[in-house]
Structure formats: structure tokens, C-alpha cells
């Protein structure tokens, strides 16, 4: 666990990430899973009490527990993320008038995120 200014920064980022994750439950353009996992990680480094509290939440807690214990992203979350990311990034690439380097950056970020999501296991591996 960290102390002082770093703890405050990590906790602030955790709350921001949690807020974005909760918004993602209601807004189709924000993916919930990555923000939930990030907030779980940040709380685990800054406040064991808040980390425990977050893990006890029915929706977000399960996502974080699955990630922390098994490194998995459930198939449903992968599909939903893809169904949101592809149209959003495609819209940016096809409909926004901007310089090519911005479009290439958006494309590479989208591909990196999708690659990360789809290369994680969907079910826990049995030993």
C-alpha cells in the first residue's frame, strides 16, 4: 500500500474510473468492464477498505473478482465491448474530418484495445 500524495492520486483516479464504469452501465459509448477493473486495481493499491467495498458490489464486484483471480474477461463483456468500440471508432474514422495521423492513432488504439480484450481468457482455466 502507498501513502501520502500518491495514495490520494491513486484514490482520486480510482473514483474517476469507478464513475466512468458506472456511467458505462447506462451509456453505450462507455465500456464498463475496463473501468471497473482499473478502479479495482487502483483501490487495491490505495485503500484495502474501499477495494473490499467495491468487490462486494453485485455488478462491478464480480467483474473485478473474475479479473483479479483468473485474469478473465467474460465473453458477454467482450462482445458488448466490441459492439460498442467498433461503431464508435468507425464513426470517428469515417465521419470526423481530421488529419490522417489522428485517424491512424484512433485506429491503432481501437485495434490495441480489441486485441487486449479478445486475447484474455473468457473462462477460468482449471489446473
Residue 65 lies in a domain: yes
Helix (H, G, I), strand (E, B) or coil at 106: helix
Whether 30 maps to a domain, the answer reads yes
Task: Write out the three cell numbers for 121.
Answer: 481468457
pLDDT range class, residue 121, cuts 50, 70, 90: very high
Whether residue 10 lies inside any domain: the answer is yes
Residue 124 inside a domain? The answer is no
Q: What 8-state DSSP symbol labels residue 102?
A: H
pLDDT at residue 18 in the model: 93
The residue range of the domain holding 51 is 5-119
- Burial (0-12, 13-18, 19+ Cβ within 10 Å), 106: middle
pLDDT digits (tens, 9 = 90+) for 4-43: 899 999 999 999 999 988 888 787 667 788 888 999 999 9
What's the confidence (pLDDT) of residue 99? 93
Q: Tell me if 102 is assigned to some domain.
A: yes
The reply to whether 126 falls in a domain is no
CA within 13 Å, CB half, 3: 0
pLDDT at site 124: 80
3-class secondary structure, 97: coil
Q: Is residue 127 part of a domain?
A: no
- DSSP string of 3-19, one letter each residue: -THHHHHHHHHHHHHHH
Tell me how many domains the chain contains: 1
> Is residue 59 assigned to a domain?
yes
Helices (H) and strands (E) in the chain, counts: 6, 0
What is the per-residue pLDDT for 13? 96
Can you tell me the distance from the alpha carbon of 92 to that of 33, in angstroms, rounded to the nearest whole number?
A: 22
Q: What is the pLDDT of residues 74-111, one digit of tens each?
A: 898 889 888 888 988 898 889 989 999 999 998 998 89
Amino acid at each position: 500500500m502507498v501513502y501520502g500524495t500518491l495514495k490520494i492520486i491513486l484514490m482520486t483516479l480510482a473514483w474517476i474510473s469507478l464513475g466512468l464504469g458506472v456511467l458505462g452501465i447506462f451509456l453505450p459509448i462507455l465500456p464498463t468492464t475496463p473501468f471497473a477493473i482499473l478502479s479495482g486495481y487502483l483501490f487495491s493499491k490505495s485503500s484495502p477498505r474501499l477495494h473490499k467495498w467495491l468487490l462486494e458490489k453485485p455488478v462491478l464486484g464480480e467483474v473485478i473478482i473474475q479479473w483479479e483471480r483468473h485474469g478473465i474477461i467474460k465473453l458477454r463483456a467482450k462482445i458488448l465491448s466490441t459492439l460498442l468500440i467498433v461503431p464508435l471508432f468507425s464513426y470517428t474514422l469515417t465521419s470526423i474530418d481530421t488529419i490522417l495521423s489522428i485517424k491512424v492513432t484512433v485506429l491503432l488504439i481501437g485495434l490495441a484495445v480489441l486485441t487486449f480484450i479478445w486475447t484474455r481468457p473468457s473462462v477460468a482455466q482449471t489446473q
